[in-house]
Structure 1
């Protein structure tokens, strides 16, 4: 379970002390995404052989698999599927009462998953791994990893640098200063990606969502953003299309009834696309910390939630935001909807419910003693994934 702080995982080699200081300032940050934090914060529940390459080694079968740390949780038709540490995936066909372990070709921690229908799903995780299943989570194949993502993003960065140099060569005197700044920024970004590629597949993917069986997106740390148009067989980097020059983390994907796509992440930023990811606009929510989720609660109304109980609302499709009263001091890690009711789950197991489209919340209950990373609602039962596997909590429906 790797986590490399940005100020230590890049091997920086610079020509001058000035440029070294500038890059170090860009590198030295910050609160890590919840999927990395949860993984790093707790001792692993299962032992694993040392020195094996987790991208080339299958997840180990274990009688303790159902009690492993689980970070991802998703329904696949009537089945529940969860994934977590060391590549472990478990499935349940009785609402989470009993579980069996799936076959997974990698041993890296999985952070998120989504099913486009009852059979076809994708999971993402550490080291940029991306897996796909066609049998509701019982068997998985690797489709991508951080080595390939690094190569895609390096090519994008080098092309951007070449375009910046060409623009500088043709700039008028009045445009020269801005063009030189653009060249410096593009060169720095290309050098950063060269360093990243040399280091290897160290950066996790943190969210995945499919609009249809064919069209989907996966995003993650340090500005990674991918799109597939063929059900996950092939992926392209769309990172260069998103206005994120600092390489901030993307922690979550949301969507609107009008087809809009949203990314929530580091620095309180929310990104919006209305053309399936071809172009993006960024909005500053006013909050400077990590956002771990964004969802539409009514047409044009969005709710974003994150670190330390922070909660923000937009009434204009994400163009502007206002902060709501914090829901305690624990990070909000997941949401579920039940008719008119909206549920938010905090990392410590506290559950909040809103009956007014996310304008206000009250404590619904608490699953104390748990450390949670994901939540799913199944009828009158809440499935809560985190330390010790998937836990069940009774839920009184609003209907």
Structure 2
């Protein structure tokens, strides 16, 4: 298995094969799923891997269940109340009040007060049984279906393995409809704000169960990107994510764009651009052989990409070319977001920081 974005940033490597397993622990071990995140004055300086906006508020998530929020464009941060201390990877708010965060141990958290307090909607102890029950019911209708037989067997294995599979990204269309994706083709959809989740593993063109690293809309299209050049696009008529071939077979960590074009980015500075809804992709030469791990879009429509080492690249021509931003303080970056006042806020291994954009 190739590296995940989260592991890449933790280790500052471009290729690392580590299984998503949990260590053997002592009998008095307190499960991170049952241990609230500890409040710390240093939370804003630790590893933070996800950033988003909730209206004008900034929300950041990271290791040990730390979630922070800022109402002054990232100058000062407060720590939220979080019921778990699992490492969190991604966060998204479709509206100013309602938001979701996901991470390791199959955690899905929800906030209805703009990120100040959070409750758990799902965790890895429930994921295996949820998958098993769902696909067992499908198999009962089609007992000779080999794909469903395999899905039930995989779900049984996940039940036995426990809460060791991470969710790596989350996106909500509105306060009710959303998706979560993660390791080994994990994908679920909710139509009721996360009160229930429906497995969509059988609705992806991903037969080898590659890791799904990110999902985001571009215009009216919804894309997922992952390992080995995987790019999937939702066909809303069939409710299925179909594969979109790309010229690259390395990992893609994210996708961005605007109506009319899409960009996928990943390992070793590989960025590809499509102007036909993902039917074809052309490589964009950044002149930078470092992995691209984050992106955001400014209020005036410029595309911002950030490298694993903290280089900031900006495009004013809809992603056709990028210029390196001068005088950036380089440090490993996992996520980027434009604040309400237009500054660039970055999250990574050294916590949170702000940069002006020229």
TM-score by length of 2: 0.89
Task: Judge conservation of contact 1:238–1:278 (CA < 8 Å) in 2.
Answer: no
> What residue in structure 1 maps to residue 18 of structure 2?
none
Task: Judge conservation of contact 1:311–1:327 (CA < 8 Å) in 2.
Answer: no
d(CA) in 1 for partners of 2:167, 2:7: 10
d(CA) in 1 for partners of 2:291, 2:66: 24
1:360 aligns with 2:321: yes
> What residue in structure 2 maps to residue 175 of structure 1?
none
Task: Judge conservation of contact 2:235–2:242 (CA < 8 Å) in 1.
Answer: no
> What residue in structure 1 maps to residue 219 of structure 2?
257
Deviation at 1:64, TM superposition (A): 1.4
Let me know the Cα RMSD of the aligned residues.
2.2
> What residue in structure 2 maps to residue 267 of structure 1?
228
Which structure exhibits the higher relative contact order, with contacts defined as CA atoms closer than 8 Å and separated by 6 or more residues?
2
Task: Judge conservation of contact 2:65–2:82 (CA < 8 Å) in 1.
Answer: yes
The structure number with the bigger radius of gyration is 1
> What residue in structure 1 maps to residue 43 of structure 2?
65
1:394 aligns with 2:356: yes
Q: How does 1:163-242 map to 2 (within 5 A)?
A: 166=144, 183=146, 187-242=149-204
d(CA) in 1 for partners of 2:137, 2:194: 25
Distance change (3 Å), C-alpha of 1:340 and 1:95 = closer
> What residue in structure 1 maps to residue 267 of structure 2?
307
Task: Judge conservation of contact 1:254–1:294 (CA < 8 Å) in 2.
Answer: yes
Deviation at 1:189, TM superposition (A): 4.7
d(CA) in 2 for partners of 1:159, 1:328: 50
d(CA) in 2 for partners of 1:104, 1:348: 29
Paired residue secondary structure (2:249): coil
Gaps in structure 1 of 5+ consecutive residues = 1-28, 43-48, 168-182
Gaps in structure 2 of 5+ consecutive residues = 14-25
Paired residue secondary structure (2:131): helix
Structure with more of its chain in helix, by fraction: 1
Q: Give the aligned length.
A: 343
Deviation at 1:367, TM superposition (A): 3.1
Paired residue secondary structure (1:376): strand
> What residue in structure 2 maps to residue 103 of structure 1?
81
d(CA) in 2 for partners of 1:52, 1:140: 20
Distance change (3 Å), C-alpha of 1:363 and 1:201 = same
d(CA) in 1 for partners of 2:136, 2:247: 32
1:332 aligns with 2:297: no
User: Which of 277, 299, 303 is residue 342 of structure 1 equivalent to?
Assistant: 303
